[in-house]
Chains A and B, each alone.
Chain A
Amino acid sequence: MSGDKILNVDRLAMRFGGIVAVQDLSFAAERKKITALIGPNGAGKTTVFNCITGFYKPSGGAIRLTHDGRTIALERLNDFNIAKQAKVARTFQNIRLFPGMTALENLMVAQHNALMRASGFTFLGLIGAPGYRDAEKRAIDLATDWLKRVNLLDRADDAAGNFAYGDQRRLEIARAMCTEPALLCLDEPAAGLNARESAALSELLLSIRDDLGTSILLIEHDMSVVMEISDHIVVMDHGVKIAEGTPREVRDDPKVIAAYLGADEEEAAAVMEGGS
């Protein structure tokens, strides 16, 4: 695989007491590309995500992020530092918006660190310094921009808790993008979306990759989305990587089919040869 790597996962391991969730996992995500992490339920995908984004401390291995000429070891950072310093943003499998705050407020919270600096850690803001007011205006503009992109501008002042499920998913992605990340990690963004919404999601992610140059790493079960937008796919099962490659390569890989069907590898190959 050619290309400049933004994320290097090197022999990652995660153990919970006696249970080994992830074992000796190595893969890389290319810059400005969409990498998908797929596999049957229980394969350890979300665990990998949690390790990359700092919510779990890996039991072994290394995770390196390379951006702006610097390489950062993610396995040593706290979760919020990974978001703040390494510019890795994420969404969650069970949507985690701020339900009692409006869509706009949600997107403003995402820009917290920039705004804190501009407000002189609150002191300048308290006295109403113009520097802060400009920064706040810029933040609102960025938020408005993103609301337009995800088609939620007319609901900017509505409470996020009141949004329909599909809208909440899009809002969560917009919020993650407001942190201006280098790497966007999405945990099952298409879960619960119907065909039309999935297509819109695919469009959105492609535009994020193409217009903004943000690298994307996503976990997904919806194969139509995965096949359509991924540049590179990594397949996991039972905590290990069993295949990786382009969408076509992975689709035809008997190991992958066997994992999903729960069948034997030879059986799957046989079925494929017989069937296709």
Chain B
Amino acid sequence: MTTPSTNPAKPATSVPALLKTAFVNALIALVLFSLMIGIRTEAGSSGQLTYWTRFGDLASIVAAVFGGSIVIELLRQWIGPTGAEKLVPPAVQSGISFIGRYLAPALLIFTLLVPVIFYNQRYILDLAILVLTYVMLGWGLNVVVGLAGLLDLGYVAFYAVGAYSYALLATNFGWSFWVCLPLAGILAAFWGVLLGFPVLRLRGDYLAIVTLAFGEIIRLVIINWQDLTGGPNGVSGIPRPSFFGIPLDNSDDGLAAWLHIEYSTTHRIVFLFYLILALALLTNWATIRLRRLPIGRAWEALREDEVACRALGINTTTTKLTAFATGAMFGGFAGAFFATRQGFISPESFTFQESALVLAIVVLGGMGSQLGVALSALAMIGGFELFRSLEGYRMLVFGMAMVLIMIWRPRGLIGHRAPTVFLTKAKAISSDLVKEGHG
């Protein structure tokens, strides 16, 4: 007698049942959207609230829900219990993993050549810089969430500390970027320890919401402490970085003059590109090294089972603090870069949405996986840019994407973890075995 499968194939749904489900869904959609979409309110010029109807929009959305339900149900039946295998046959799957091995180096080489390939496309260069910034943030948060399993919903706080440190030090004391960069990291790390110390004994959701609260407090303090931070107006006139002391401008002692080439604003963009690339690669290198050192292994062990760690003599409090501080430091570096790239910062860049975005990047990437985080940052930020024309709908799509990704692939793009030490052969460990951490 064979054991029953855990996912017994559902009997093929008959057409009437299919239509009934779709009809019910459409009805629910009708009720939900009747007022919010069917009616549009607006405050008139005199403050009076008026409204008009949009029944056409309502009808199309309800119809879309009806049609969509049918499509989804049919898809679900077609995919059936074998799931992914039908969509991506095994031969293709092994092909993809073959490419995967060469993907990281290929991607790196491509990235190094981006300014060369797209030299004249300012838009692409700017986008690339943005993507790399988020890759670095993702790699930084990965230390906290992916390796140590600590749920941090307030990562933007360290980004803000780094940005404001550089901005204020540079505009008030005139210190150069290269002096401020390590300071920004140290300040952010210090802040990470300060924040982390009281809260790290909290678990799971509680730690998440406390870090969220901290992030919001920092933002509110920045907005309200006008004397220090300029409040909602932010800090402007932040000096751009120099090429190790040689200014990147039009002047006679500028880099262009020095190299006897024609000056172009693209020089600065290219420099910024390689700067963020270097910072990101530093983050990556540090993470890979740290993973192989006892501290990194302790971070991962912490994620797997905190109680067992304590039973082995590991001081889990300091272990958590080092993870927090390290992640914070990289966030701080990224923040300093952000300030110098923009020339102007304001509290609006440091909202909870940013924290959530970086967290989504880390989780989608497959926690702990460097390549996964990079790919997912590329997908998310690139995708965001594609939707730029639909400005208002971006968060809507992003939110839906988060929900869908959690339903479809909660362990992220990369489905495995690479061990840090091996006797004979490094065997990838399936994500199903890897714990996500409680703290």
Chain A residue with Cβ nearest B368: A100
The residues in B between 407 and 429 inclusive whose CB is less than 8 angstroms from any CB of A are 417, 419-427, 429
> Interface residue tally of chain A, by bracket?
35 or more
Contact partner of A97 among B305, B421, B427, B429, CB < 8 A?
B305
Instruction: Verify A98–B301 contact, CB threshold 8 A.
Output: yes
**Considering only CB atoms, which chain A residue lies closest to B290 in the complex?**
A122
Tell whether, in the assembled complex, residue A98 and residue B294 are in contact, meaning their CB atoms are under 8 Å apart. Answer: no
Question: In this assembly, does A105 line the interface, its C-beta being within 8 Å of a C-beta of chain B?
Answer: yes
* Max chain B Cβ within 10 angstroms of own Cβ: one of A55, A97, A99, A101: A101
* Residues of the A chain whose Cβ atoms lie less than 8 Å from the Cβ of B11: none
Contacts of B312 in A (CB 8 A): 80, 83, 89, 109-110, 112, 175-176, 179
B window 386-439: CB within 8 A of A: 417, 419-427, 429-430, 433-435
**In whole angstroms, what is the CA distance A115 to B297 when docked?**
11
A84 located at the interface, meaning its Cβ lies under 8 Å from any Cβ of chain B in the complex: yes
B305:A112 contact, CB within 8 angstroms? no
Q: Are A126 and B289 in contact (CB under 8 A)?
A: yes
Residue of B with least CB distance to A98: B304
Q: A99-B434, A100-B434, A109-B309 known; A157 and B314 CB under 8 Å? A: no
Q: In the assembled complex, which residues on chain B have CB atoms less than 8 Å from the CB atom of A162?
A: 433
Residue among A109, A176, A179 having the largest count of chain B Cβ atoms under 10 Å: A109
Asked if B20 is at the interface of the complex by the 8 Å CB criterion, the answer is no
User: Complex Cα distance A105/B286, Å?
Assistant: 20
The answer to whether B294 and A122 touch across the interface, beta carbons within 8 angstroms, is: yes
**A92 sits at the interface (CB 8 A):** yes
- A243 interface contact, C-beta 8 A: no
Q: What distance in Å separates the Cβ of A81 from its nearest Cβ neighbour in chain B?
A: 8
Which residues from A are CB-within-8-Å of B420?
105
Confirm or deny: B316 has a beta carbon within 8 angstroms of a beta carbon on chain A.
yes
Rounded to whole angstroms, the CA-CA distance of A112 and B423 in the bound complex is 18
Is B35 in contact with chain A by the CB < 8 A criterion? no
Query: Bound complex: CA of A121 vs CA of B326, how far in Å?
Result: 14
B157 to chain A, nearest CB (A): 24
Interface residues of B in 308-362 (CB under 8 A from A): 308-316
Whole-angstrom distance between the Cβ of B323 and the nearest chain A Cβ: 12
Whether A116 and B294, one on each chain, are in contact in the complex, defined by CB atoms closer than 8 angstroms, is: yes
The answer to whether A140 touches B421, judged by C-beta atoms less than 8 angstroms apart, is: yes
At the interface, yes or no: A214 with Cβ under 8 Å from chain B? Answer: no
Task: Contact check, A80 vs B316: say whether CB atoms are below 8 A apart.
Answer: yes
Q: Are the C-beta atoms of B305 and A98 separated by less than 8 Å?
A: yes
Instruction: Specify which chain B residues have a CB less than 8 angstroms from the CB of A157 in the assembled complex.
Output: 419, 422-427
Query: Is B88 on the interface with A (CB-CB < 8 A)?
Result: no
Residue with the greatest number of chain A CB neighbours at <10 A, chosen from B305, B420, B430: B305
* Min C-beta distance of A161 to chain B, whole Å: 4
Q: How far is the CA of A104 from the CA of B316 in the complex (A)?
A: 21
B105-130 interface bits toward A, Cβ cutoff 8 Å, 1 = contact, 0 = none: 00000000000000000000000000
- Chain B nearest CB, measured from A85 CB (Å): 8
Contact B294 A125 (CB under 8 A): yes
Q: Give the docked Cα–Cα distance between A108 and B322 (Å).
A: 19
Q: Are B313 and A80 in contact (CB under 8 A)?
A: yes
A119 within 8 A of B: yes
> CA of A80 to CA of B314 in the docked complex: distance in angstroms?
6
Contacts A99-B435, A109-B301, A122-B293 known; A104 to B313 CB distance under 8 Å? no
Contact of A99 among B289, B419, B433 (CB under 8 A): B433
Assess whether A92 is in contact with B433, with CB atoms less than 8 Å apart. no
Does A90 reach chain B (CB closer than 8 Å)? yes
Instruction: List residues of chain B with CB within 8 A of the CB of A112.
Output: 294, 297-298, 301, 312-314
A109–B419 contact, CB under 8 A? Answer: no
A113→B425 CA distance, assembly (Å): 26
Question: Chain A residues near B257 (CB, 8 Å)?
Answer: none
Q: Is the CB of B435 within 8 A of A83?
A: no
Alpha-carbon separation in the docked complex, A108 to B298 (Å): 9
Q: Once the chains bind, are B313 and A113 in contact (CB under 8 Å)?
A: yes
Q: B421, A105: Cβ atoms under 8 Å?
A: yes
Q: Is B228 close to A, CB under 8 A?
A: no
Q: Known contacts A112-B313, A113-B313, A144-B423; is A97 also within 8 Å of B308 by CB?
A: yes
Residues 138-163 of A, flagged 1 when their CB comes within 8 A of B and 0 if not, give 00100010000000000011110110
Contact: A100 with B422, CB < 8 Å? no
Known: A53-B311, A175-B312. A100 touches B417 (CB 8 A): yes
Q: How far is the CB of B69 from chain A (nearest CB, A)?
A: 38
- CA–CA, A40 to B323, complex, Å? 43
Chain A neighbourhood of B303, CB < 8 A:
100
Is A231 an interface residue when CB atoms closer than 8 A count as contact?
Answer: no
B307 within 8 A of A: yes
For residue A248, CB closer than 8 A to chain B, the reply is no
> Which residue from chain A places its CB closest to the CB of B432 in the assembled complex?
A161
Cβ contact within 8 Å between A156 and B423? yes
Closest to A116 in B: B294
Counting chain A CB atoms within 10 Å of each CB, the highest count among B286, B308, B417, B435 belongs to B308
Is residue B295 within 8 Å, beta carbon to beta carbon, of the partner chain? yes
Q: With the chains together, A108 CA to B422 CA distance in Å?
A: 11
Name B311's contact: one of A96, A119, A126 (CB within 8 Å).
A96
Given contacts A156-B422, A176-B311, 4 further A-B contacts (CB under 8 A): A109-B314, A157-B419, A157-B422, A179-B312
Residues in B lying within 8 Å of A, measured CB to CB: 286, 289-290, 293-295, 297-298, 300-301, 303-305, 307-316, 417, 419-427, 429-430, 433-435
Q: What is A's interface to B at a CB cutoff of 8 Å? A: 53, 55, 79-81, 83-84, 89-90, 92, 96-102, 104-105, 108-113, 115-116, 119, 121-122, 125-126, 140, 144, 156-159, 161-162, 175-176, 179
Listed A/B pairs (5) with beta-carbon separation below 8 Å: A99-B433, A102-B427, A112-B294, A119-B295, A121-B295
Which 10 pairs, one residue from A and one from B, show the smallest C-beta to C-beta distance?
A100-B434, A84-B313, A83-B313, A161-B433, A98-B304, A115-B294, A96-B308, A159-B429, A125-B293, A80-B310
